[in-house]
Amino acid sequence: MGEHSDTHHQPLRSILQPTTQAQVSGYKFLLRRAELGAVMGDIRMIHDPLGARNKALAFGAAAAVVVGLGAGAMALFSPQRDPGEAPIMVAESGALYVRSEEGVHPVTNLASARLVVGEAATPARISDAVLATQRFAHEVGIGVAPSAVADSAPEQPLVACHEVRSDELHVGSGIAYRPLTEEEAFVARDERGTQWLITSEGRRRLPFARDELGAATRQAVGVDRDTPVVETTSTWLNTVHALPDFAVPSAPWEIADVGEAAYLIRRENLIELTDTQRSILVQLGARTRERTREEISGFGDSGQTLQLLRRPYSLIDAPFLGAPESHPAAVCSAGKQRGPGVRMRALEGSIPVLGAHATHYRPAYEDEQRSGLAFGVDTAQGTHVISETGRRHAVPSDKELAVVGVESTTAASWSVVSLLPEGEVLSFEAARAPAHRRIEE
């Protein structure tokens, strides 16, 4: 039965053979000749405008697909950003804007933007297309303000260093220098010719050498006309704690020597003298007399402090003009935070500043992540923010300080901070004022 069925269908299989490639090509060729004959009235196929049209149609369809896919990808990965009601916005160009009831205000910098809105908000991105639909208002903001603030203030205080050879005054946080010890001192002279004795306690004006007190004091210190003197400025000297001038107590001077101790008798009271003070008074003509403890037991303690040199000092190598390279290059002071001292090498990495007593500012942070950051300081004249370029900005309150982004401050002497150029006050009122009004002022 099966053999009979196969024999029956064998002629049909011989007719239904697979179509060859040549047959398909011939069929397409004849079909195109027929199309040309119907459309162009010419079957010679010397030109084939229908083929070019079909190719153009295929290319256009492919291009449309690619463009559509690209537009879809852009819509998915880079949509038209709409920040909604975000208080601070940043445009595609990087320009900052703040939102208020009046509309969208262009603002000069991020610190101003945060002060305007009253919070340390993070800017939200807005596309140019969405920005174009906003209602704009006048520009606001502080002209020059810190752009980025450090999370924490530097641990080291602000230091002022005067480089004697270059006559440059550098201010910065963390400038390394060697403070004077209790036994060390050097002599400095300001632009007016006044000489000062600089010790770890501060600065004291040296009396003129022609005066009796000046001659006695200089002899006790070991200062003569050959002593090297640091040529500095009153600006730097003002950063060193000022001590009372040397002064001679009123006469008569009678000294009671009691064993190894010495006392200046002032009516019915005694003032204890150091060896240096006794030597100075004797040189000035004081009378001395040996006494016993019983003889002075009836005297009281005056409680007075004599403004005389208390001790001798060792004069150190200081950075004077013409000094060898082995000598220090600068004199430094951190005000009340740290006593005066010297720095061996010249400062590097400082940037010039204008409109201030200081000539250069050294950024507070040397690491790459924080090198351009501002920070806050507490002084006797209030809280300030030191910008990344060395400009000091007063901050009226802790609330404004927090809005700007300062989380902690470091103590600094106003005598050092005041050397930097003064910037605009970082206040809510200053930030919200129209920018053109400050330009006119």
238-242 long-range contacts, Cβ below 8 Å, gap at least 24? 238/415, 239/160, 239/333, 239/334, 239/335, 239/413, 239/415, 239/416, 239/419, 240/198, 240/202, 240/203, 240/333, 240/335, 240/340, 241/201, 241/202, 241/203, 241/335, 241/336, 241/339, 242/202, 242/203
For residues 316 and 287, give the distance between their C-alpha atoms in angstroms, rounded to a whole number: 34
Q: Which residues pair with 187 in a beta bridge?
A: 197
Q: Does 84 or 337 have the greater pLDDT score?
A: 337
What are the DSSP E strand ranges found in 67-119? Answer: 88-90, 96-100, 103-107
Question: Average pLDDT for residues 290-296, to the nearest whole number?
Answer: 90
The amino acid at 186? F
pLDDT tens for residues 353-366?
A: 998 999 999 987 66
Pair of tokens at residue 176: 């390394």
Are the C-beta atoms of residues 400 and 106 closer than 8 Å to each other? Answer: no
Residue 441 confidence (pLDDT) above 90: no
Q: pTM of the prediction?
A: 0.75
Residue 396's pLDDT is 96
How far out from the chain centre does Cα 167 lie?
23
Look up residue 4 and give its DSSP letter.
H
β-pairing verdict for 409-411 and 230-231: unpaired
The chain-wide mean pLDDT, for the chain, equals 85
83 pLDDT more than 70:
no
Cβ–Cβ under 8 Å, residues 321 and 165: yes
Of 79-93, 95-109, 386-400, the poorest mean pLDDT is in: 79-93
- The CA-based angle 127-128-133, given to 5 degrees, is 100
User: How confident is the model over 5-22, as pLDDT tens digits?
Assistant: 445 555 545 555 667 777
Pairing between β-strand 375-379 and β-strand 409-411 as defined by DSSP bridges: parallel
Beta strands in 206-324 (DSSP E): 230-231, 254-258, 261-266, 269-273, 287-290, 300-301, 314-315
Domains of the chain in start order, with CATH, are 65-144+430-441 (3.30.2390.20), 254-301 (no CATH)
| Tokens describing residue 28 | 């397409």
Instruction: Report the pLDDT value the prediction gives residue 2, as an integer from 0 to 100.
Output: 46
Sign of CA dihedral 418, 424, 427, 429: positive
Cis-peptide into 252, omega within 30 deg: yes
How confident is the model over 154-174, as pLDDT tens digits?
888 999 999 999 999 999 988
Task: Show the tokens assigned to 250.
Answer: 């009123």
- 345: confidence class by pLDDT, cuts 50, 70, 90: very high
Nearest one of 255, 232, 239 to 308, comparing CA atoms: 255
Note the pLDDT tens digit of each residue in 211-262: 999 999 999 999 999 999 999 999 999 999 999 999 998 888 899 999 999 9
Nearest Cα to 98, choosing from 88, 111, 108? 88
Please answer whether residues 332 and 340 qualify as being in contact, where contact means their C-beta atoms are separated by less than 8 angstroms: yes
**Least confident piece of the model among 7-11, 175-179, 189-193:** 7-11
- pLDDT, position 370: 56
The per-residue pLDDT for 302 is 81
